[in-house]
Amino acid sequence: MLANICEKSYAAEAQYTNFYGGGDIAWSSDGQHFYCLNGVSVNQVDVKTSQILQSFGIGSTPAENKKPANLEDIDVEEDAITCFALSHEHLVTAHRSGLLRLWLLTTCKLVKLWKAQHKGPVIKIEFSPCGRLVCTSGGADATLRLWDFGNNSCLCALKDFPGPCWLLRFHPNVLRREIYAVGSDNTIYCWNYQSKTLLHKMRGHLSQVTGLSFKSNEADCNELATVSRDKVLIVWKLKDQVESKQLKVLPLFDELEGVVYTNEGREIIVASGTGNLQQVDAESWKIKNLLTQSDFQISRLLHCSDLKQLALVTTEQNIIVYDGSSIEPIKHLVGYNDEILDMCFLGDNDRYLAVATNSKHFKLYDTENDMNCKLIVGHSDTVMALAASHNLLISVGKDCSIRLWKLEHEKACSLEGLTQQTNCHTSTIGCVAMTHNGATGFASVCQDGSMKVWNLTRDKQERNSYTFNLRYSALAHDKEVNCVAYAVNNKILATASQDKTAKLWMADSNSLLGVLRGHTRGVWSVRFSPVDQVVLTSSSDCTLRLWSISNFTCIKRFDQECTILRAEFLDHGKFIISAASDGLLKLWNIKTNTSLQSLDEHSDRVWALAVSGRSNRFFYTGGADSKLIRFGDVTQATRNEALDKRQETLEQEQTLHSLLHAQKQLHKAFVLALNLNKPKTTFDIIIHFVRERDEAGLRQLVDQLNVDQRVALLQHVKAWTTNSRNSHAGNVILKHLIGDALLDPKARFYNNSNMVEVLTPYVQRHFKRITEMNKELAFLEFIVKCM
């Protein structure tokens, strides 16, 4: 029995999900965490592992369940966060309802809640350098409000500028007591919030100001750099109570999205929307290009002074961390994956995982280096499918092109584009498959029903030079072809289509071997067994089918509850893992036709499933819920846990037997019998106390039990009361348990699964029987007295 329970088991080892949905993002001062806005929560993300450590938002703490009396009219069930700010100790979030929430970073607890008193939601919020003051800007009013949250007071309201304010900064030195805000007229305003006076109006930009940075944290810091989408960098000289002047105006000929001072104020780093990084010397004003690329759009530039690192945030919610001195990429974090369409392993020991995510760029993850990621650029439209053979990778998509890539060993997590062909098909290429045991060819299928088989050759002199040419083309199906796969010996091809069939083809020639008919709806995937002469198909008719290659008949069938989108063989063809449209993964034993395990980690369709062919010990899944999940083989751990539990149970049973045999320590024996779920043993112990008329001992027996043991005792009472001969012991126990529950309101959860309601009919029947018996005894006593 134990072998059947632990025959095969998998568990989720790591989950990489969306943590950034656009908007505000902050970098902790030590550089270890990013704080990312994602709808109704702010996620704290570990930079090294890309994992969410904790979230700040609605319902994340017990304190949120109790609202202050004056805020009862505000609905906090779906209160989206519009912006947030970070200090060394706290995080403050501004919500669409107009509430401000203050969180403690170390415990993730809500410590303060108040109304912002702005017209409309707060669109920008900022901490003072000391971390004791918060400044907010409303979206529908031209007002800045300064809050002292420690004393629950609003210090001032600044109104001398045209709002709303999309950029807000305090002077980095707390002694200056200055607030800088950018108005809707692209002018930078500066106030002294202690005297509530307007100090500066800095006019110069012609478009929205997107970045603002101070030269240093010193009190005498009077230099300020600003950038705008008017393609100009302006360095300002600030003077006390005097109109500030422009120290330098540099045209950079690109829309700018961020600016920071580095190298102790001697250099200025500017980021453009096209992804370019430029360095400006703060003394000679010479401009140097640090990074030139047009692969993605940049929305923000972040700087960590402690680690001397830069971070670029893209419009697709990717975060790329660079070394500040060499401008070499250190880490790539994926904040938003969108829908995961396909994935495959490549490299030695399946180290790298390529993932297509409903984008024209696909991602390459290093599974052995904390899932470090790199964005692979090349396609002009959505990448639909990927296929790999050792160090070679082929990508296809909606642009009807085929691209061949090779893993670069000199650089970690990097692909080199080898060759490409455009207009390879007349419609979207939905799937591609490469030959096994050395890439000599590949096959691609299209939505128009066609299949093309290609030769892949390597130049004998130039080892890094590859070319591919068309071997033959065929109209494989009448409808869209969903999948194509090679047999292990590379001699047979299989295709699956929406026309409800799967077909087997000779790989070397355009000849059809057979048609697999039997599915009542479209076939989504097809796979060859690695050890047997069988083919596996999955379909929208909610079935998996195994087919014989020799006679094209269905050998076995496995039924699931909904459409099965993907299926793969596991453990050298002994098991099958299937992925369905409801997000449920199922593990099947081919020999016994049984479902061994269901894995419910996804919440939407699972499109992608990649099994490690080298080890067969783990696999990755991805789908429409944007989750990338790694599942590992925990069969041995589960078996060991079951063996340990069995050994512990045997030891407890031996102890219980010894205690009952000696008729000693019945209180301890009673607890052991409850833990081992032995109603007969607990009944015998109760009857012993009843026969001895030991009411105090029986009461002590019940009082020693904790909540879980009392719930288990109620289950035992249920088993006793079904038999009238055992009803007396059950009623004695119910007297104590129900009596305790009536006296203590907290004990009402003893009524697990409505146990009291279940027991009530039995108790009423036994009460009626005892009542009738008392009547008969009274009548008998009357007859005896009359004789």
Contact 94/82 with Cβ under 8 angstroms? yes
Distance CA 400, CA 427 (A): 6
Q: Which of 289, 188, 273, 168 is nearest to 231 (CA)?
A: 273
Taking residues 618-643, report their average pLDDT: 90
pLDDT tens-digit map of 505-527:
999 888 999 999 999 999 999 99
pLDDT reported for residue 65: 37
Confidence of residue 61 (pLDDT cuts 50, 70, 90): very low
Q: Is 206-309 CATH 2.40.10.500?
A: yes
Tokens matching residue 635: 């069969």
Q: Give every strand in the sheet of 133-138, ordered side by side.
A: 122-127, 133-138, 144-148, 153-158
Taking residues 528-538, report their average pLDDT: 94
How much helix, strand and coil, in percent to the nearest 5, is found in the chain? 20, 45, 40
What mean pLDDT value characterizes the chain?
86
H or E segment at 280?
A: strand 277-281
Taking residues 681-686, report their average pLDDT: 80
Higher pLDDT, 64 or 400: 400
Residue 331 has pLDDT above 60, yes or no: yes
Phi and psi, residue 277, nearest 5°: -115, 130
Q: Which of 757, 775, 708 is nearest to 734 (CA)?
A: 757
Residue 372 has pLDDT above 70, yes or no: yes
Distance CA 327, CA 93 (A): 33
Residue 62 has pLDDT above 90, yes or no: no
Q: What is the DSSP letter of 657?
A: H
Distance CA 235, CA 284 (A): 13
Residue type, 781: E
Residue 306 has pLDDT above 60, yes or no: yes
pLDDT tens-digit map of 2-42:
444 558 899 999 999 999 998 999 999 999 999 999 989 99
pLDDT reported for residue 484: 95
Least confident of 143-152, 558-567, 625-634, 671-680: 671-680
Contact 68/114 with Cβ under 8 angstroms? no
Taking residues 538-548, report their average pLDDT: 95
pLDDT reported for residue 250: 94
pTM: 0.80
pLDDT reported for residue 459: 79
| Radius of gyration in angstroms for the set of CA atoms belonging to the chain, rounded to a whole number | 35
Q: Which of 645, 646, 678 is nearest to 660 (CA)?
A: 678
Least confident of 424-428, 699-703, 728-732: 728-732
On the CB side of 608, CA atoms within 13 Å amount to 32
Cross-strand partners of 458: 466
Contact 576/587 with Cβ under 8 angstroms? yes
Residue holding tokens 């450590």? Answer: 53
Confidence of residue 754 (pLDDT cuts 50, 70, 90): low
Taking residues 238-256, report their average pLDDT: 84
Q: What is the DSSP letter of 127?
A: E
Distances (CA, A) of 499 to 449, 502, 754: 10, 9, 51
Q: Which of 204, 199, 14 is nearest to 630 (CA)?
A: 14
Dihedral Cα 614, 620, 622, 627, nearest 10 deg: -150
Taking residues 122-145, report their average pLDDT: 92
Residue 725 has pLDDT above 80, yes or no: no
Higher pLDDT, 438 or 272: 272
How buried is 426 (Cβ within 10 angstroms: 0-12 exposed, 13-18 middle, 19+ buried)?
exposed
Confidence of residue 488 (pLDDT cuts 50, 70, 90): very high
Give the number of other Cβ atoms within 10 Å of residue 412's Cβ.
14
What are the b/e assignments for 451-470, b being 16+ CB within 10 Å?
A: bbbbebeeeeeeeeebebee
pLDDT reported for residue 748: 53
Percent of the chain with pLDDT over 90: 52
Q: What counts of helices (H) and strands (E) characterise the chain?
A: 8, 56
pLDDT reported for residue 745: 56
Higher pLDDT, 657 or 118: 118
Confidence of residue 695 (pLDDT cuts 50, 70, 90): confident
Give the number of other Cβ atoms within 10 Å of residue 19's Cβ.
25
H or E segment at 768?
A: helix 755-786
Distance CA 446, CA 423 (A): 12
Angle at 492 between CA 489 and CA 495, to 5 degrees: 130
Least confident of 136-150, 444-458, 686-700: 686-700
Residue 326 has pLDDT above 50, yes or no: yes
Least confident of 158-172, 243-257, 287-301, 706-720: 706-720
For residue 786, the SS3 value is helix
Higher pLDDT, 729 or 478: 478
> What is the full DSSP assignment across 532-567?
SSEEEEEETTSEEEEEETTT--EEEEEE-SS-EEEE
CATH number of 342-459+477-633: 2.130.10.10
Residue 63 has pLDDT above 50, yes or no: no
Confidence of residue 245 (pLDDT cuts 50, 70, 90): confident
Confidence of residue 665 (pLDDT cuts 50, 70, 90): confident
Residue type, 216: S
pLDDT reported for residue 6: 59
Angle between helix 666-675 and 695-703 (nearest 10): 40
Q: Which of 166, 238, 225 is nearest to 199 (CA)?
A: 238
Taking residues 88-105, report their average pLDDT: 93
Distance CA 312, CA 300 (A): 6
Confidence of residue 743 (pLDDT cuts 50, 70, 90): low
Q: Which of 393, 396, 355 is nearest to 379 (CA)?
A: 396
> What is the full DSSP assignment across 608-637?
EEEE-TTT-SEEEEEETT--EEEEEE-HHH
Strand duo 209-214 + 109-115: pairing: unpaired
Residue holding tokens 């944290």? Answer: 217
Alpha helices in 632-754 (DSSP H): 635-662, 666-675, 679-691, 695-703, 707-721, 727-743
pLDDT reported for residue 700: 78
What are the b/e assignments for 346-376, b being 16+ CB within 10 Å?
A: bbeebbbbbbbbbbebbbbbbbeebbbbbbb
Distances (CA, A) of 331 to 36, 45, 230, 564: 16, 13, 31, 36
Instruction: Name residues whose C-beta falls within 8 Å of residue 85's C-beta, 6 or more positions apart in sequence.
Output: 24, 26, 91, 92, 125, 126, 127, 134
pLDDT reported for residue 309: 93
Residue holding tokens 């279940």? Answer: 758
Length of the chain: 787
Confidence of residue 75 (pLDDT cuts 50, 70, 90): very low
Taking residues 393-420, report their average pLDDT: 90
Confidence of residue 565 (pLDDT cuts 50, 70, 90): very high
Percent of the chain with pLDDT over 70: 91
Q: Where are the domains of the chain?
A: 206-309, 342-459+477-633, 663-782
Distance CA 759, CA 680 (A): 18
Q: Which of 23, 743, 16 is nearest to 317 (CA)?
A: 23
pLDDT reported for residue 31: 92
Confidence of residue 72 (pLDDT cuts 50, 70, 90): very low
* Three-state SS sequence of 519-538: CCCCEEEEEECCCCCEEEEE
On the CB side of 189, CA atoms within 13 Å amount to 26
Residue 730 has pLDDT above 80, yes or no: no
